[in-house]
Amino acid sequence: MSSQTTNQTTSQTDRTDRGNRTNQGGQTTHHTLSILVGNKPGTLTRVTSLFARRGYNIEALVVGQTEDPARSRITMIVGVEGTPLEQIIKQTMKLINVVDVRELPPNSTISQELRRGAHGTYLLKN
């Protein structure tokens, strides 16, 4: 399930996943991540604090409860520069409250909404 998703969405980045933050060419690319989490207090903090301390850039973020009240979904756009996306996904998957992480296609409705929202008022811009 989860790990499968990880592999599918990031197989093309496998080769560059070498962790040397500075040799990635400095080009920022944007990815939309959909993170399914347990609906527990502090979970959003765990995710955003992970991103802050590992130096991943959150461009936009929205969070809400899912149909299943035990789960929330965090959808975010990350700006990926030094660190390969695969590494970001794996580190996020390691959080105990995170159930699944997948990358959404850039042309998906939610991605477009989020990107627009990033310039609006109701979403966080990091």
Binding-site member from 86, 103, 117, 123 for other proteins (CB under 8 A): 86
- Nearer of residues 75 and 117 to other proteins, judged by Cβ: 75
The side-by-side arrangement of strands in the sheet containing 71-80 is 57-65, 71-80, 29-38, 98-104
What is the DSSP code string of 67-114?
Answer: SSTTEEEEEEEEEESSS-HHHHHHHHHHSTTEEEEEEEPTTSHHHHHH
By rule CB under 8 A, what string of x and - marks binding of each residue 54-83 to other proteins?
------------------------------
Taking CB under 8 A as the rule, does residue 91 contact other proteins?
yes
Segment holding 7, helix H or strand E: helix 2-10
Which part of the chain contacts other proteins (CB under 8 A), choosing from 25-33, 43-51, 72-80, 104-112?
43-51
- Please report how close the Cβ of residue 103 comes to other proteins at its closest, in angstroms: 16
Which amino acid, one-letter code, is at 17? D
Q: Which one of 60, 80, 100, 123 is in contact with other proteins (CB under 8 A)? A: 100
Query: Which of residues 30, 46, 102, 115 is near other proteins by CB under 8 A?
Result: 46
The β-bridge partners of 63 are 74
